[in-house]
Structure 1
Amino acid sequence: MKTKIQISGLALAIIGLLSSAAPLQAAPDHSQAVATPAKEAQGIVQAMKRQFDKPQSPLKVAPVVVEGDWALAGWLQDARGGRALLQKRHGHWVIVVCGGDGLRQADALVHTGMTADMATALAKKLNVAESRLSADTLKKMASFEGMLRVDGEAGHGTGHGAGHGAQSTHPKH
Structure 2
Amino acid sequence: MRVILALLASLAALLPSGGSWSQTSPSAAPGDSAAAISRLLSSTFEKPDSRLLLDPIVVEGKAALVGWLQGDLAGRAFLRENDGHWAIVACGGDALKDVSTLQRLGLSQAQADRLSAAMAAAEARIDPQRVARFATFGELVEMSGEAHTPANPQRH
Q: TM-score, normalised by structure 1?
A: 0.67
**Per the alignment, in what secondary structure is the counterpart of residue 153 of structure 1?**
coil
Quote how far apart the aligned CAs of 1:151 are. 2.5
Cα pair 2:67 2:76 within 8 Å, conserved: yes
Quote how far apart the aligned CAs of 1:56 are. 1.2
**Per the alignment, in what secondary structure is the counterpart of residue 143 of structure 1?**
helix
Report the Cα distance in structure 1 between the residues aligned to 2:60 and 2:32, rounded to whole angstroms: 14
The aligned residue for residue 149 of structure 2 is 157
Of 59, 65, 69 in structure 1, the residue corresponding to residue 52 of structure 2 is: 59
The aligned residue for residue 93 of structure 1 is 86
**Per the alignment, in what secondary structure is the counterpart of residue 87 of structure 2?**
strand
Quote how far apart the aligned CAs of 1:85 are. 0.4
The aligned residue for residue 143 of structure 1 is 136
Identical residues among aligned pairs (%): 37
The aligned residue for residue 72 of structure 1 is 65
The aligned residue for residue 41 of structure 2 is 48
Q: Which moved more, 1:122-131 or 1:46-55?
A: 46-55
The aligned residue for residue 125 of structure 1 is 118
AA partner of residue 98 (structure 2): Q
Q: Which runs of 4+ in 1 moved over 4 A?
A: none
Report the Cα distance in structure 2 between the residues aligned to 1:114 and 1:142, rounded to whole angstroms: 21
Cα pair 1:99 1:147 within 8 Å, conserved: yes
Cα pair 1:95 1:152 within 8 Å, conserved: yes
Cα pair 1:60 1:77 within 8 Å, conserved: yes
* Deviation by residue 1:6-36 (Cα, 9 ceiling, x = unmatched): xxxxxxxxxxxxxxxxxxxxxxxxxxxxxx8
The aligned residue for residue 107 of structure 2 is 114
Cα pair 2:103 2:112 within 8 Å, conserved: yes
Cα pair 1:47 1:95 within 8 Å, conserved: no
Quote how far apart the aligned CAs of 1:158 are. 4.0
Of 78, 81, 92 in structure 1, the residue corresponding to residue 74 of structure 2 is: 81
Cα pair 1:79 1:140 within 8 Å, conserved: no
Report the Cα distance in structure 2 between the residues aligned to 1:121 and 1:38, rounded to whole angstroms: 17
Larger radius of gyration: 1
- Unpaired segments of 5 or more residues in structure 2? 1-28
- Unpaired segments of 5 or more residues in structure 1? 1-35, 161-173
**Per the alignment, in what secondary structure is the counterpart of residue 157 of structure 1?**
coil
Bigger relative contact order (CA 8 A; separation at least 6): 2
AA partner of residue 71 (structure 1): A
